[in-house]
Amino acid sequence: MRVTGIDVRVVTPHQRFLWTYTRAQADVVADSLALRREFPQELTYLGSGAELWRAATAVQSALLRASDLLLSDHAAELADLARPGPVDVLDLGPGTGSAAEGLLAGLIAAGRFGGYRAVDISPEMLTLAGARLTAAFPARAARLAFTVGDFRDAGPHAARIVLLAGGTLFNLADPGALLRDLAATRNPGDLVVITTRLDTTGRAPFPPSQPAPALPPIHRLGLDLLNLDPGWYEPERGFDPARREVWSGARLNRPITLHLDGAHGRRVVALHTGDLLLLYRQLFLDRAAVTALIEGSGLRLRTFHTGRSGEVAMFVADTRD
Ligand SMILES: C[S@@+](CC[C@H](N)C(=O)[O-])C[C@H]1O[C@@H](n2cnc3c(N)ncnc32)[C@H](O)[C@@H]1O
């Protein structure tokens, strides 16, 4: 790190950034920061981010538990809704595999399990999911597959059940784009299963607080990997009522110039005092808004269930014939 005459911090990433990301991913980080002042949230699950997520979800909150139980509670119904024959499941963003576990157990119990494939951008997360699901279903290990990739551009997602569990869909800046892709590449009758937290009150999910609480470690990970000293920013969080989106970020209190080595050489990103770096986003929609998003993407809502907590729900959609 170098300090210039006007106190601009010139920063190169931490060694762990270089171990965690490819040069192409360093370009994604540079582009996202330069164009949108956003650290790509999906990249925070790589490297030590996987363990941070596992640890954060290991002591399951009532909401997380209720979200996972939605899939085991309704596995037999999902098997009935799916086209006849063995049901293959494609899990987009499996995390630790906790959501898929109940669904697979239910499909096995119903004699309908065909196979399971997880696609995740984080190799480390896939290792966790693989260990969990292989231990849970050792006799089916040969029919469990784990593929590293970005599910937004991984091509056609064909499976009798495509699973987007635990709110993963609503971390995306444009969830409709993924749903439209799924609608376009589905075989008639194949299901898209979404579980998420729901807005049941029409209010923000937390009261406004000043100052904002400290950033959770997984939200902060990108800044730590970039080598940004916590003294150079203040945490912020908020709720965007127009988008119905929860967000957290870091407000810079000094100018910073980042030097990142991308696939085609050095990238220089100039950040300014007062810039808000977005670190996390999650849409917080009510039932009507999720339904409208699904239907507006060319999918048809087949069934809806709230969970054992009324704040989580499962939406099951298929392709119109
Ligand atoms: C919220 S977490 C896990 C959610 C998990 N389905 C559950 O219910 O616990 C999101 C997961 O999706 C993965 N992910 C996020 N965006 C992705 C993308 N664009 N392509 C592939 N994986 C992605 C992350 O690496 C992480 O494993």
Whether 63 shows a pLDDT value over 90: the answer reads no
- pLDDT at res. 21: 98
* Mean pLDDT for all residues in the chain: 94
Of ligand 1's listed atoms, the one at least distance from the Cα of 99 is 8
Whether 235 shows a pLDDT value over 90: the answer reads yes
3-class secondary-structure state, position 321: coil
**CA of residue 279 to ligand 1 center, whole Å:** 15
Comparing 8-22, 102-116, 142-156, 255-269, the range with the smallest average pLDDT is 142-156
Average pLDDT over residues 20-45: 98
Write the pLDDT tens digit of every residue in 193-207. Answer: 999 999 999 888 887
Ligand 1 pocket member 45 (CB < 6 A): yes
Question: Which among 198, 56, 191 has a CA at the least distance from the CA of 125?
Answer: 56
The residue whose CA is least distant from atom 18 of ligand 1 is 150
- pLDDT at res. 307: 94
Of ligand 1's listed atoms, the one at least distance from the Cα of 150 is 20
**CA of residue 189 to ligand 1 center, whole Å:** 25
**CA of residue 95 to ligand 1 center, whole Å:** 5
**CATH code, 55-198+285-319:** 3.40.50.150
pLDDT band at 3 (very low <50, low <70, confident <90, very high): low
- pLDDT at res. 59: 81
Say if strands 87-92 and 2-3 run parallel, antiparallel, or are unpaired.
unpaired
Ligand 1 pocket member 165 (CB < 6 A): yes
Write the pLDDT tens digit of every residue in 288-317. Answer: 999 999 999 999 999 999 999 889 999 999
282 neighbors 170 (Cβ within 8 angstroms): yes
**CA of residue 120 to ligand 1 center, whole Å:** 6
- pLDDT at res. 188: 86
Whole-angstrom Cα distance, residue 151 to residue 291?
A: 22
The residue whose CA is least distant from atom 13 of ligand 1 is 93
Whether 5 shows a pLDDT value over 70: the answer reads no
Of ligand 1's listed atoms, the one at least distance from the Cα of 149 is 21
CA 42 to chain centre: 6
Residue ranges per structural domain of the chain: 2-36+204-283, 55-198+285-319
Q: What is the DSSP string of 24-89?
A: HHHHHHHHHHHHHSB--GGGGGSTHHHHHHHHHHHS--HHHHHHHHHHHHTHHHHHHHSPSSPEEE
For a ligand 1 pocket test, name from 51, 168, 178 the mutation site with the most ligand atoms within 8 angstroms of its C-beta: 168
What percentage of the chain reaches a pLDDT higher than 90?
84
Whether 4 shows a pLDDT value over 80: the answer reads no
Say if strands 233-240 and 245-252 run parallel, antiparallel, or are unpaired.
antiparallel
Write the pLDDT tens digit of every residue in 128-182. Answer: 999 999 999 999 999 999 999 999 986 667 799 999 999 899 999 999 999 999 9
